Amino acid sequence: LASPDGSTRPTIFAEMTALAQSTGAANLGQGFPDGDGPEWIREIASAAIRDGANQYPPGRGIPELRQAIAAHQLRHYGIELDPEREVLVTAGATEAIAAAVLAFAGPGDEVVTLEPFYDSYAAAIAMAGAAHVTVPLVPGPDGFRLDSAALDAAVSERTRLILLNTPHNPTGTVLSRDELQLVADAARRADALLVTDEVYEHLTFDGDAHTPVATLPGMAERTLTISSAGKTFSLTGWKIGWIAGPAELIEAVTAIKQFLTYAGGAPFQPAIARALVDGDADIAELRDSLSARRDLLVAGLREAGFEVVVPGGTYFVCADAAPFLAEGDDGAAFARALPGRIGVAGVPISAFCHEGSAAAQALSSWVRFTFVKDERTLRTAVERLRELG
Ligand code: PMP
Ligand code: GLN
């Protein structure tokens, strides 16, 4: 029972969480909040269970949630969607990504992503039998930025789709409008579809606003936008995600989704529908508190001696562990030893790269830490990181 990359290993996130648990380490590895989402949203789901929302919901999602997703896209970004035909509810963003890749890419096709990339991208592309081509994001004075020459080299007439991610896991990069325009131009030149994973859309800092690719001129017709309530409302275990875009593309994704999960999350759907309509204050509070926690961790990592790229968004900060590597070690060896050594868990950036790729080599000493943990956990981690010096 091997996964598409031929390995039977658990994902790096599961591995690091298990390691953090067995060593009692502060878990800055897997990106999930260590608190609950807002109580009023959880209450709606509890009431829905009491009131009988316990059988299969409609495969495309309950109408109330599809309407709320369409209203959210309109209110925040001016994107107009028909909730009947242009919105599909999925089992988290993960299912949306897999269903979109399986719907549009197959043997002989190329799918382009940034590198480092979220781990499920490589698996979904492999399941589809397509080839995975990447555009490295390499750190410079302005953070991890898109290289337009690398983008042009990667996108060709063989490109079936570009699977983009902004705000970006693991680097925390929020792609600028100019960078997005480069991607949009490349997609149009290659006549490729754009699938954008925007699960961290609301988690941006320093007034750095997220721009959905679908809002760029002429892009709505070739763009599918993915997001998830897990990140926006700190309810990652509910696995309520969605994908939105042109009706005929959503129809193709629905055809795949119905044989992946068919439907899911019946009692969570009405709760997320209300959250998307009435939850803006909760989103603002999360963004502000996350921004403060980012500052705490960035300062702690710097004091401990790491080089850090300050993230514009997401749950994550990337740090170069080069000063702390033992002879012959890389970031992966460092990250695997760290919980036992000082009681802190992180994830090596190489886990988000193809083995031996240019990005993997350039980032071989880098580690990702998450700051979506309570302040006490972060302070404990920062104190322990000082022991490295
Ligand atoms: N995309 C990215 C970039 C992510 O970071 C994550 C979760 N960490 C997902 C997708 C998966 O989202 P979900 O839990 O909604 O499936
Ligand atoms: N997306 C989370 C992360 O990047 C983990 C989710 C998972 O474990 N699949 O840490």
pLDDT of 178 higher than 70: yes
127, 113 contact by CB (below 8 A): no
| Domains of the chain with bracketed CATH | 12-37+282-386 (3.90.1150.10), 39-279 (3.40.640.10)
Rounded to whole angstroms, the Cα distance separating 211 from 8 reads: 37
pTM: 0.96
Query: Ligand 1 centroid to 369 CA: how many Å?
Result: 16
**Average pLDDT of the segment spanning 179-207:** 97
The residue whose CA has the least distance to atom 14 of ligand 1 is: 92
Q: How far, in Å, from the CA of 252 to the mean position of ligand 1?
A: 21
| Ligand found nearest the CA of 13 | 2
Ligand 1 lined by 94 (C-beta under 6 Å)? yes
Reported as a pLDDT band with limits 50, 70 and 90, residue 1 is: very low
Mutation to probe ligand 2, out of 15, 32, 34 (largest number of atoms < 8 A from CB)? 32
Ligand 1: which atom is nearest the Cα of residue 168?
A: 3
Q: How far, in Å, is the centroid of ligand 1 from the Cα of 169?
A: 9
Interface ipTM: 0.97
Mean pLDDT computed over 96-122:
98
**Distance from C-alpha of 23 to C-alpha of 288, rounded to nearest angstrom:** 31
SS3 309: strand
Distance from the alpha carbon of residue 32 to the mean position of ligand 2, in angstroms:
7
Question: Which pair of structure tokens corresponds to residue 284?
Answer: 């603002």
What residue owns the CA closest to ligand 2's atom 1? 31
Query: What is the per-residue pLDDT across 20-36, written as a single tens digit (0 to 9) for each?
Result: 999 999 999 999 999 99
Atom of ligand 1 nearest to the CA of 239: 15
H or E stretch at 224: strand 223-228
**For the ranges 12-16, 109-113, 351-355, which has the lowest average pLDDT?**
12-16
Coil, helix or strand at residue 297 = helix
Q: What is the mean pLDDT of residues 254-266?
A: 98
236 lines ligand 2 (CB under 6 A): no
Residue whose CA is at the smallest distance from ligand 2 atom 4: 31
Can you tell me the distance from the alpha carbon of 25 to that of 14, in angstroms, rounded to the nearest whole number? 14
Index of the ligand 2 atom closest to the CA of residue 370: 10
Contact 136 CB / ligand 2 (< 6 Å): no
With beta carbons less than 8 A apart as the criterion, state whether 352 and 117 touch. yes
Q: What pLDDT does residue 5 have? A: 60
| CB of 18 closer than 6 angstroms to any ligand 2 atom | no
